[in-house]
Amino acid sequence: MGHTIAAVTDPATSPLLAVGSAAIDAAPTPVKEFAVQTFGSADKPVLLAGMAVVLVLITAGLGLLAYWRRWIAVVGLVALAAIAGAAALTRTPDPIAVVPALVTGVIAVAGLLWVRAGVLGSAGTQSGTATGTATGTVPGPGADVTGARETPAAERHASPARESPLDGPRVRSGQFVPTRRGVLIGGPAALAVAGAAGGTLLGRRRDDGAIGRDRALPDPSDPAPLLPEDVQLELPGITPFRTPSPDFYRVDIALSTPRIDVDTWSLPIGGLVDEPITLRYEDILDMALVERWITLTCVSNPVGGPYVSTGRWLGVPLVDLFEQVGVRPEADQIFTESADGLTMSIPLDAATDGRDAMLVVGLNGEQLPVERGFPARLIVPGLFGFVSAAKWITRMDLSTYDRDIAYWTERDWATDAPVLTQSRIDVPGPLQRVPAGTVTMAGIAWAQHRGIRSVEVRIDDGDWQQAELAADGGADLWRQWRFDWTSTGSGRHDVQVRATDGRGEAQPQERTAPFPDGARGWHSIAFVVE
């Protein structure tokens, strides 16, 4: 019920989603890392399913307690609703946020009392519905405990039940009285209907709830440089150089994707500046826009992992905005707030050293997709996404690291987070069987803003050998590589890869976990020659 109501008012305040989001915020970093590494992009469905199971168990427990002491169950339900309401307030600090929890609580308490009355029978009004000792039908679960106390024994025997308590619902003196069978079937059915309705509504709002997705993007005044044609190797199975928008990796803490109305959205830029400004969406579209190919990576990407993609981003250079507001010399970080409650912080030095740091409105020639931060987000080449790529941005302050602390910094992740050099084997796949003869290996390597100088491959315990590199698209982009090997006998072989960045630094062998500043180590897979 709460999910359905929230779909109409504000999805983030759905009891399930709000409590889930609060749990994500509160979860200690090791638990979060475990979830990301174990469940990958399914971490949120797993969390929600787990919560649903726990909730069903708790409410079932309260239902059983209600046979014994009605007030305990009522207090339990009120407590659940209060938790949901409080969690919703942490998402949307507006009294309206508690509405889904409040309505759900009221319906839950009323429903509980109603069902309880029906199942136990309340003295005098439903004499025929209770335990039916005379006909030997099945007594209700509470019959021994409360039924005997509440239903005068004489009356029970005086009017023997003609119907089994498992019969359908009956109407007694104009009152609809639920039966156990009705509750057993109707309860889950109502749950399924409400869940499906809420899910559908939420899903629909996720797709088209944002307003202003029909605006035409202007042409960039500084278009993306034409990429050399052979940045893309013609090899089956290799990661495409240009990631199609739907295939772009996605990582965020948002259980419900913020859907923003660009007509009411604005972006204040303030803090340690001479002249704060507030930008509307149209203001940004009116500025001189640049377009750049940039590869984005997540710090949570494990060695060989999938959280890296490349897009063509359209936006305003941050330095142009900073020129307008006049940044004071004491500022050392760009501190952002987003519609999902996340705060992030970019080292000011990195954003102003000449690289293409920008406030983005377009991806691959279209408005930013909703799940990519519509209407606007940041991109800073060379920094991991969790510090640099704030989606659904709602505020940008020039600040200092002493003054404001970002969400992930509070959770012990690195403050300064340059991308680490990584390389990945896409072909052959793990344990793939390949015919004897020439075996082609291929993949990608990245070290944004430093570039990739070379990639080396080692088969089994042999020597490192230079892989062939595809054309270089620029230092902010990943680079494809391939290596042809003539197989030496059938059976299992291991292949390892390591890249050297544009500064001549090779990837270290020693593996580290993604926490707190990114995974290190060589990717390695095994394949089988037939």
Q: What are phi and psi of 345, to 5 degrees?
A: -145, 130
Residue 342 interacts with ligand MTE (CB under 6 A): yes or no: yes
Helix ranges restricted to H, 121-179: 148-150, 153-158
Structure tokens at 101: 């929890």
Q: Please identify which residue in 97, 238, 251, 269 interacts with Mo ion, judged by CB under 5 A.
A: 251
Residue 47 interacts with ligand MTE (CB under 6 A): yes or no: no
Q: Please identify which residue in 84, 88, 116, 252 interacts with ligand MTE, judged by CB under 6 A.
A: 252
Q: Is the Cβ of residue 12 or residue 417 nearer to Mo ion in the bound state?
A: 417
Stretch binding ligand MTE (CB under 6 A), from 6-14, 64-72, 126-134, 252-260: 252-260
Using alpha carbons, select from 298, 303, 239, 300 the residue that is nearest to residue 508: 303
> CB neighbours of 31 closer than 8 A, spacing ≥ 6?
none
Residue 267 interacts with ligand MTE (CB under 6 A): yes or no: no
Using alpha carbons, select from 413, 415, 394 the residue that is nearest to residue 404: 415
We find the least distance from the C-beta atom of residue 298 to ligand MTE, in angstroms, to be 3
DSSP 230-276: GGS---TTSPPSSPPGGGS----S-SS----BTTT--EEEEESBSS-
Residue whose token pair is 């902010």: 476
Q: At 338, is the secondary structure helix, strand, or coil?
A: strand
Binding residues for ligand MTE, total number by CB under 6 A: 19
> CB neighbours of 40 closer than 8 A, spacing ≥ 6?
306
Residue 464 interacts with ligand MTE (CB under 6 A): yes or no: no
Q: Please identify which residue in 241, 335, 386, 515 interacts with ligand MTE, judged by CB under 6 A.
A: 386
Q: Is the Cβ of residue 120 or residue 357 nearer to ligand MTE in the bound state?
A: 357
CB 147 within 8 A of CB 119: no
We find the least distance from the C-beta atom of residue 33 to Mo ion, in angstroms, to be 12
Q: At 528, is the secondary structure helix, strand, or coil?
A: strand
Q: Please identify which residue in 255, 389, 417, 467 interacts with ligand MTE, judged by CB under 6 A.
A: 389
- For residue 335, what are the β-bridge partners? 345, 397
The secondary element (H helix, E strand) that includes residue 114 is helix 99-120
Stretch binding ligand MTE (CB under 6 A), from 31-39, 50-58, 250-258, 499-507: 250-258
We find the least distance from the C-beta atom of residue 311 to ligand MTE, in angstroms, to be 8
We find the least distance from the C-beta atom of residue 163 to ligand MTE, in angstroms, to be 56
State the burial class of residue 258 (Cβ atoms within 10 Å of its Cβ: 0-12, 13-18, 19+).
Answer: buried
Which residue of the chain is nearest ligand MTE when measured via CB?
A: 385
We find the least distance from the C-beta atom of residue 26 to ligand MTE, in angstroms, to be 15
DSSP 370: G
We find the least distance from the C-beta atom of residue 441 to ligand MTE, in angstroms, to be 27
We find the least distance from the C-beta atom of residue 379 to ligand MTE, in angstroms, to be 9
- Alpha carbons within 13 angstroms on the beta-carbon side of residue 505 total 11
Residue 298 interacts with Mo ion (CB under 5 A): yes or no: yes
Q: What are phi and psi of 108, to 5 degrees?
A: -65, -45
Interface mask toward Mo ion for 367-386; x: CB under 5 A? ------------------xx
The option from ligand MTE, Mo ion, none interacting with 390 (CB < 5 to 8 A, set by class) reads ligand MTE
Q: Please identify which residue in 67, 281, 392, 483 interacts with ligand MTE, judged by CB under 6 A.
A: 392
Residue 16 interacts with Mo ion (CB under 5 A): yes or no: no
Residue 248 interacts with ligand MTE (CB under 6 A): yes or no: yes
Pairing mode, strands 267-271 and 393-399 = parallel
Q: How far is CA 169 from CA 63, 131, 178, 180, in A?
A: 19, 15, 5, 9
Task: Tell which positions 278-307 bind ligand MTE, by CB under 6 A.
Answer: 296, 298
Q: Is the Cβ of residue 12 or residue 251 nearer to Mo ion in the bound state?
A: 251
Task: Tell which positions 81-120 bind ligand MTE, by CB under 6 A.
Answer: none
Q: Is the Cβ of residue 313 or residue 481 nearer to ligand MTE in the bound state?
A: 313
We find the least distance from the C-beta atom of residue 61 to ligand MTE, in angstroms, to be 34
Residues written for the chain: 530
Stretch binding Mo ion (CB under 5 A), from 116-124, 220-228, 292-300, 494-502: 292-300
The Cα 515–Cα 487 span in angstroms is 38
The Cα 499–Cα 455 span in angstroms is 4
- Alpha carbons within 13 angstroms on the beta-carbon side of residue 211 total 5
Q: Is the Cβ of residue 298 or residue 380 nearer to Mo ion in the bound state?
A: 298
Residue 250 interacts with ligand MTE (CB under 6 A): yes or no: yes
Q: Is the Cβ of residue 335 or residue 386 nearer to Mo ion in the bound state?
A: 386
The Cα 218–Cα 282 span in angstroms is 11
CB 400 within 8 A of CB 328: no
Stretch binding ligand MTE (CB under 6 A), from 23-31, 320-328, 335-343, 347-355: 335-343
Contacts with ligand MTE by CB under 6 A lie at: 248-254, 296, 298, 338, 340, 342, 372, 385-386, 389-392
Contacts with Mo ion by CB under 5 A lie at: 251, 298, 385-386
